[in-house]
Amino acid sequence: MKQTTVYILLLLLTACQSKDRLDMALEYAGDNRKELEKVLEHYRGDEMKYRAARFLIENMVGHTGHDSTDVRKFQPFYDRHVAISKKYNWERPAEWQQEIDSIWKESGQSLFFPKSRKDVQTMRADRLIQEIDRSFKAWQENAYTRNAPFEDFCRYILPYRYAEGVCIDNSRDVFYQRHAHLFSDAGKDFRQVIDSLHERSSDLMHNNWAAASMPIYNAATFEYVKRGSCDDKAWYNCLQLSALGMATAIDFVPEWGNRSGGHSWNCVIVNGETHPFEPFWDADRWKYKRIYNNEGFDLLWGRFRLPKVYRHTFEYYLDGPFADPEVDRQDIPPLFRNPFMKDVSEAYFQTADVKLSLRKSIPEDIKYAYLCVFGAKQWVPVQWGKIQRDGNVVFKGMGKDIVYLPMLYQNGNLTPAGSAFLLDKHGKQQILEPHKETAPITVSTYTAYLFTDEVIETKRTLNGACLLGSPDKNFAHADTLGCLNDSMESWGNDIQTTSHTPYRYIRLEVPKDSLNLCEISFFEHDGEEPIHPLKYSTNLRPLTSEDNPDRMTDGLSATGWRGKTNGDKGFVCWELPYPSLIKKIHYVPYWKPYFIQEKDIVLQYWDDAWITAGTQRWEKGTLTFNDVPQGTIYRVRIEGTKDRIFTYKNGMIQWY
């Protein structure tokens, strides 16, 4: 959204406190006021449609788009884009991506980007009436939403716009004509119906970041070029589903809590419940409630941790710093200068309110603090909280199992306002700040992000393995303590045992002739110290001369071991120093050490700024940095990479 548009909206709202939203919108419509009044007069005798017309007009201020002439200006580029895609049979190899990027740099970026038009000043009466009438018709024909509250209809079916910049054309009429009455029978699960609808447009795919800034202004263009961003497909889906009477919206995470970047996706609202789904077609489109709950993880992509989830809205919401006349606009992070969104985090995960006492002196003109997560090389605000006179601040509805940092924002700059902390899975705060004591830190990479093929490889030799416990080394009497399967995480797993038998020997039996493992630890109590020392025996030989089985139990999650047999199934048996009642087993799958050669590898720790603890060059294996302050968060920085933060305790790395 244009910054000036937001400012105009705010000025109007603050200047018109004595007027209602309708009066304000009509005043701002200028010469277009008569068109909007025609709509109101048209529905004067129909209470429901009149209220719907009011809802649209009242919330028009601040919304902008383009018209069909703007699309035509880009048509030559779209034609070239399609020609290249046809040459590659609509597949997306690296060569296709290079060609698309090349023509965009050559001609696309030099094209004139048209100025957007304000909806409230350009929307014609006949278009608005057509939108309202069709929306009501589709709503009443839809067996899944016809009994939805009128407020849900207004918010999620009625809006003609689901993204700024998109043309207001006849696309929703076209979608209705194509698929009318598709949702008229509730005999099937609505997800099946939506899947059958979207499978028809499965040729619309992600652009793989080729010409990522190429604008797509209407649905017809998207169907023509067949490649776009998650945001493009999300508004396309909303136009399509809302045209058929399904209550739909776009939800987004502004920044992940444990990886770089954010994401947008779709949802439908049925019987008051949010059902999120992947915008592009795939085989598991409804997985987000499962993997975005801040508890589980995806088998291929690992764990996702979400600090907040917001919903793009047509209706504007005035809250927080944006609605506070005492706050300078330059002292508000860009995310919170947008009134067209609302917090829907509780629809995805259990939240916790975070109360902090800011330890920094706060300038008198700073009224709000911001809770931040670590993004791509920097801290990113995800929630605001108003600072009380005593320096306390409450951040509402935060996601758990995430590291946060409270910060102030002034003139575009973020400054720390307190200590970093982990909001653990129970909603408790664990302060993360450097201690006086120092210790070595051993690392093997700079990021927790793995590609799907790497995730598969970490699990390959462990999938199907079982752990057995026995009081005697011959395992004449053995109990199964746990078996490993595909649901293991790449960066650490716990097995809780219920056996009441003390064991002297624990044996790991793998279903294949090889084993890759970084670390395994055995615990008697809920404390943090594993049982040691351990002796091992195995029928696996080291894969290389540098592999040492002791690395599996050396107390360092960054080191590991790879072994192989001559074709027999592999095993490793550990002898404990005494018979032990095992309560927990922790294990870390193997991941190959990886940095970048001929570049500086810098370990840093957080102490109100990133402090360098050491710099090395890498050839192979792990790296150890000595005399590093303990108790805080760390990162391994390499020029040109997106690293992740982690904590380090008793040799174990925990990524965030």
| 464-489 per-position pLDDT tens digit | 999 999 999 999 999 999 999 999 99
The fraction of the chain above a pLDDT of 70, given in percent, is: 96
Cα angle 88, 91, 92 (rounded to 5 degrees) comes to 100
pLDDT value at position 69?
82
Reduce the secondary structure of 404-441 to three states and give it as a string.
EEEEEEECCEEEECCCEEEECCCCCEEEECCCCCEEEE
Asked whether residue 110 carries a pLDDT value surpassing 90, the answer given is no
Residue-wise pLDDT for 316-334, tens only, equals: 998 999 999 999 989 999 9
Residue-wise pLDDT for 584-624, tens only, equals: 999 999 999 999 999 999 999 999 999 999 999 999 999 99
Asked whether residue 8 carries a pLDDT value surpassing 80, the answer given is no
As a whole number of angstroms, the distance between CA 161 and CA 59 comes to: 11
Q: What share of the chain is helix, strand, coil (3-state, %, to 5)?
A: 25, 30, 45
Burial class (CB in 10 A: 0-12, 13-18, 19+), 627: exposed
Confidence of residue 528 (pLDDT cuts 50, 70, 90): confident
Can you read off the two tokens belonging to residue 437?
A: 């004591």
- DSSP, collapsed to helix, strand or coil, labels residue 131 as helix
pLDDT value at position 19?
66
* Phi-psi group of 73: left, alpha or beta (phi > 0 → left; psi -120 to 50 → alpha; rest → beta): alpha
Residue 57: closest CA among 22, 28, 24, 27: 22
> Residues 643, 653: contact at Cβ < 8 Å?
no
The structure's pTM equals 0.94
Confidence of residue 18 (pLDDT cuts 50, 70, 90): very low
Helix runs in 245-378, H state only: 288-291
As a whole number of angstroms, the distance between CA 176 and CA 340 comes to: 26
The CA-atom distances, in angstroms, between 54 and each of 36, 126, 186 are: 9, 15, 31
- Which residues are 385's β-sheet partners? 369
CA 387, chain centre distance (Å): 28
Asked whether residue 224 carries a pLDDT value surpassing 60, the answer given is yes
Question: Strand pairing of 571-580 and 535-538?
Answer: antiparallel
Looking at every residue in the chain, the average pLDDT score rounds to 94
Confidence of residue 16 (pLDDT cuts 50, 70, 90): very low
Which of the pair, 7 or 513, is modelled with greater confidence?
513
> Residues 508, 465: contact at Cβ < 8 Å?
yes
Residue-wise pLDDT for 71-92, tens only, equals: 888 899 999 999 999 999 999 9
Mean pLDDT on 442-460: 92
Confidence of residue 273 (pLDDT cuts 50, 70, 90): very high
The CA-atom distances, in angstroms, between 414 and each of 22, 47, 58, 406 are: 38, 49, 35, 10
Confidence of residue 68 (pLDDT cuts 50, 70, 90): confident
Asked whether residue 502 carries a pLDDT value surpassing 80, the answer given is yes
